[in-house]
Chains A and B, each alone.
Chain A
């Protein structure tokens, strides 16, 4: 597989009156062409910031991608792009879908114009032609009566329809990578399934690579080739779907998996992880998960664990991997856990 995206030591900080919030703390990962990668973690772990950083979408926020971060996309050094090149890059090479379709469309502009805008910018065609193409794009994302919908305003569409419009916008210029930032969180469960089906279908048809940002391990299992678990701005565990669902090694991943309701677990209490993630304003010296970890050891409080490669695809950052550490069994009953392959 050919590498499409290569991220190295990505660090993002937000400057606030209270100090710098270090939202992403030196993560490295890559995405192959046509591959689907899921970034999983609870809210505030830096997954959405990572997604935005790939397009350097911090123009007017206090966010800053720190010196030394490297983002390479299909031969382009994204960090080195000047303003103009960056604008040409966004939307044409990478498309993005946002969390809440209720707020990610301009309420005062017709659907057709909003979808067409991307084409006008990158292909230099007129708005009239772009709107004509927008009809085809809306058809592609399976919106009924696209010829009529292009003239509609966002408030006239349901949430699921709007998210389809957002997807159509993101895919307008046939980008090589689609970033989906919690694309189904704000939707009803039935609509979620439809949108995910659509994304999966489009991925196959268009061969687009996808980075799926989510807190929902349930949709990840169905959808992605590889999974990265993030915690407090760091990647704590990464691997293929099977690595994560069947052979996971990090206590945080265990906690996440245990929080998924199981079919055969009637009558038992659903596991819930206590505590809150660390304050991202602070420097974290040990393992960021230490304060909430059932298996926390002295060393976890003092030193950041190193990344340990378990196989060609599976890596984890945890002191439990150290040869001196006690052997801890995964607390999830293996039998009840099918990775839904």
Chain B
């Protein structure tokens, strides 16, 4: 084979090409958002959630019925007039389902938020201060979490006795924070002992900067994912309690209560049970799927 002379002159290494990094650099959150967008299931779940929240906020104005107003159209099956039908007092089920949704979602979201914030603060303090304080704080967590949570919730909802949103929320929160506290404590401890935080310490980076630069961004993803998984579990707890008559009671309404009411007439009017049940299941499903997607997006190492 013949080659020309100039092909064999030494040109040396190609610095630019050698050092080039293949992919463009992005921030952590941008990258997470990109990964989340690629997950069709998670995005679909998110859309459903937004839709449910929207309907819960504006449901009764959309269908044009008030959820407490009774009429003579009793036990109507779903029709153009009453999209989800009516209950035994002639109240429009569509309006009732989404009025209930407001309460159910509020308990779910608020409950998850409160326990997550409290648990995170508790857990980080415990991990940061360490020593005896940590030991005592964790003993408290251990004892509180050794009490079966339904027992506490039942006792508390009895004690507060107003069967309103506030008391059930309180009851759920009192037992719910332990898990988050443990999780965050573990995460913070792991970070405090991680090589890069020790490196930052050694370089003289201030505590405040370590907290804002390393601790918060690195625990945030765990906390957010935990939050998304807590919401459906609170919605479930509320529905469960209301279903057995220990939660929300009239004149308030929630999905659990509606399902409970529908259960009584299930044999004759199955749709009265079906719609609230569907909403509970759909919401929990969507939050779980969204949480899965969020976890994969925020922590690519855990990606399955």
A contacts B: CB pair < 8 Å: yes
Known: A279-B22, A325-B8. A292 touches B13 (CB 8 A): yes
Query: Whole-angstrom distance from the CB of B21 to the nearest CB of chain A?
Result: 8
Q: Is the interface of A mostly helix, strand, loop or mixed?
A: loop
- Counting CB contacts under 8 A, is A110 at the interface? no
Cross-chain contact B11 with A298 (CB below 8 angstroms): yes
Q: How far is the CB of B193 from chain A (nearest CB, A)?
A: 18
Q: How far is the CA of A318 from the CA of B10 in the complex (A)?
A: 13
User: Does A297 contact B13, Cβ atoms closer than 8 Å?
Assistant: no
* Cβ–Cβ < 8 Å partners of B131 in chain A: none
Q: How far is the CA of A292 from the CA of B14 in the complex (A)?
A: 6
Report whether B10 and A326 are in contact in the complex, using a CB–CB cutoff of 8 Å.
Answer: yes
A298/B8 in contact, CB under 8 A? yes
Query: Given the complex, which residues of A lie within 8 Å of B10, measured CB to CB?
Result: 294-297, 326, 328
- When the two chains form their complex, are residues B8 and A322 in contact, meaning their CB atoms are under 8 A apart? yes
- A319–B8 CA distance with the chains assembled, in angstroms: 8
Contact A298 B13 (CB under 8 A): no
A112 to B19, CA, bound (A): 49
Task: Decide: B7 and A299 in contact? CB cutoff 8 A.
Answer: yes
* Residues of chain B within 8 A of A275, CB atoms compared: 13, 15, 17-19
B8 adjacent to A324 (CB under 8 Å): yes
Q: Which of A245-296 contact B (CB under 8 A)?
A: 274-276, 279, 290-296
A297–B13 Cα gap in the complex (Å)?
9
Q: How far is the CA of A46 from the CA of B189 in the complex (A)?
A: 37
> Per-residue 0/1 for A317-341: is the Cβ within 8 Å of any B Cβ (1 yes, 0 no)?
0010010111010000000000000
Q: Separation in Å of the A114 CB from the closest CB of chain B?
A: 28
The answer for the CA separation of A336 and B10 in the assembled complex, in Å, is 27
Contact of A299 among B3, B19, B22 (CB under 8 A): B3
Nearest neighbor of A289 in chain B, beta-carbon distance: B13
Q: Which of A279, A290, A297 sits near B7, CB closer than 8 Å? A: A297
Q: Are B18 and A291 in contact (CB under 8 A)?
A: yes
Q: Is the CB of B5 within 8 A of A296?
A: no
- In the complex, A293 Cα to B9 Cα: how many Å? 13
Q: Bound complex: CA of A293 vs CA of B14, how far in Å? A: 8
Residues of A within 8 A of B (CB): 274-276, 279, 290-299, 302, 319, 322, 324-326, 328
The 6 closest A-B pairs by CB, nearest first: A275-B18, A299-B7, A298-B7, A291-B17, A291-B14, A291-B18
What would be 24 A-B contacts, judged by CB atoms less than 8 Å apart? A274-B13, A274-B19, A275-B13, A276-B18, A276-B19, A279-B22, A290-B14, A291-B17, A292-B13, A293-B13, A296-B12, A296-B13, A297-B8, A297-B10, A298-B9, A298-B11, A299-B8, A319-B8, A322-B8, A324-B3, A324-B5, A324-B7, A324-B8, A326-B9
Besides A296-B13, A328-B10, 9 other CB < 8 A contacts? A275-B13, A292-B13, A294-B10, A294-B13, A295-B10, A296-B11, A302-B7, A322-B8, A324-B3
